[in-house]
Amino acid sequence: MPRVTDDLFASVASPVQGCLQKMAADLPSRQDDRVVYHLRAGDHRIPLNERIGSPMRLAWSGAIACSHCGRATKKSFAQGYCYPCFKRLAQCDTCIMKPETCHYHQGTCRDPEWGEKHCFQPHIVYLANSSGLKVGITRKTQMPTRWLDQGAIQALPILEVNTRQQSGFVEMLFKEQVADRTNWRAMLKGEVKPLDLCAERDRLFNLLADGLGQLRDVHGADAIRTLDETPLDFHYPVATFPSKVTSHNFDKQPLIEGTLQGVKGQYLIFDSGVINLRKFTGYEIAVE
């Protein structure tokens, strides 16, 4: 791959080099510990918790590789794909963001085998507190990764359904009463107050009882199952939250450096600003 900023790479002493992947986030070994993060660049995994409070530099070479096929691309689509893969792959179709629009039954799924493996699996409808109360959906196998990627400080699974499309129908119903998106700036400021998620669940169940009943009439009573789970709390490795959130962007600033003050969601928090590493999946970087 051609590098347009070799001088920046050369300025990074003994760099770890590779194409960015989504940061790995793991639960701590003890409840009162912080989420454990690793930056992933190519085959390298860089522990981040131990680097809080230390200088860190990220230099983009100017090269981008598709996270699926590996080909060089001038622009990344849908967080890491080249344009041909973006247009062809089932995981890039619009129904992934809007599961209720699933068109598998119409025979037009881009990759039926992929759909059967990922969409026709148990999904969880949950409440989370990342920048305030929100509703969301995720494959059952993606708990708690989904919540850590959002920077949620609390999460509570409330319903289990049989398919991704069914989770989309349920989420649409809950969106009548609660947000489905995270305010990332508020999440990064660390000013989010804890909520009684069990009380919020019960309140929403009461408000939406008729709608849930109608969905069960259509899909079957056993297709949408109520869960009785205990809320989970998450703590992140952040020494100092920013009072004002300024965002870094490799496309505008190929060298990003500063003191690493924390990690939350998929964001690195520097004293010079924040950067969402997931947004730059496939970007070839050097890390010091």
Mean per-residue pLDDT for 107-120?
97
> Is 116 within a domain?
no
Please say if the pLDDT value at position 253 is more than 80: yes
Do 164 and 219 lie in one domain? The reply is yes
Mean per-residue pLDDT for 9-31?
80
Do 129 and 214 lie in one domain? The reply is yes
Structure tokens at 205: 């169940």
The strand pairing partners of 287, in sequence order, are 16, 58
- pLDDT tens for residues 214-235? 999 999 999 999 999 999 999 9
Mean per-residue pLDDT for 12-21?
81
Give me the pLDDT at residue 29, please.
85
Whether the CB-CB separation of 151 and 236 falls below 8 Å is answered with yes
- Residue 61's domain spans which residues? 6-84+237-287
Domain boundary among 189, 215, 233: 233
> Is 154 within a domain?
yes
Give me the pLDDT at residue 2, please.
37
Do 249 and 213 lie in one domain? The reply is no
Whether the CB-CB separation of 268 and 275 falls below 8 Å is answered with yes
User: Which backbone phi and psi does 43 adopt, to 5 degrees?
Assistant: -90, 0
> Is 103 within a domain?
no
Give me the pLDDT at residue 62, please.
97
* Other CB atoms within 10 A of residue 278 CB: 16
Do 196 and 268 lie in one domain? The reply is no
Give me the pLDDT at residue 4, please.
42
Please say if the pLDDT value at position 254 is more than 80: yes
> Is 283 within a domain?
yes
> Is 273 within a domain?
yes
What whole-number distance in Å separates Cα of residue 275 and Cα of residue 111? 33
Q: What is the chain's mean pLDDT, rounded?
A: 94
Give me the pLDDT at residue 3, please.
43
Give me the pLDDT at residue 176, please.
96
Give me the pLDDT at residue 31, please.
67
pLDDT band for 30, please (50, 70, 90 cuts). confident
Do 260 and 244 lie in one domain? The reply is yes
- pLDDT tens for residues 35-77? 999 999 999 999 999 999 999 999 999 999 999 999 999 999 9
Do 187 and 241 lie in one domain? The reply is no
What whole-number distance in Å separates Cα of residue 286 and Cα of residue 240? 25
Structure tokens at 174: 């809950």
What whole-number distance in Å separates Cα of residue 81 and Cα of residue 132? 31
Domain boundary among 191, 216, 233: 233
Prediction pTM value: 0.92
Do 128 and 213 lie in one domain? The reply is yes
Give me the pLDDT at residue 199, please.
98
Give me the pLDDT at residue 15, please.
79
> Is 97 within a domain?
no
Do 19 and 76 lie in one domain? The reply is yes
Q: Which one, of 165, 169, 170, lies nearest residue 157 by Cα? A: 170
> Is 92 within a domain?
no
Do 80 and 23 lie in one domain? The reply is yes
Give me the pLDDT at residue 12, please.
46
Do 213 and 145 lie in one domain? The reply is yes
Mean per-residue pLDDT for 169-177?
98
Do 64 and 151 lie in one domain? The reply is no
Do 215 and 126 lie in one domain? The reply is yes
Q: How many domains are contained in the chain?
A: 2
The strand pairing partners of 47, in sequence order, are 38
pLDDT band for 7, please (50, 70, 90 cuts). low
> Is 163 within a domain?
yes
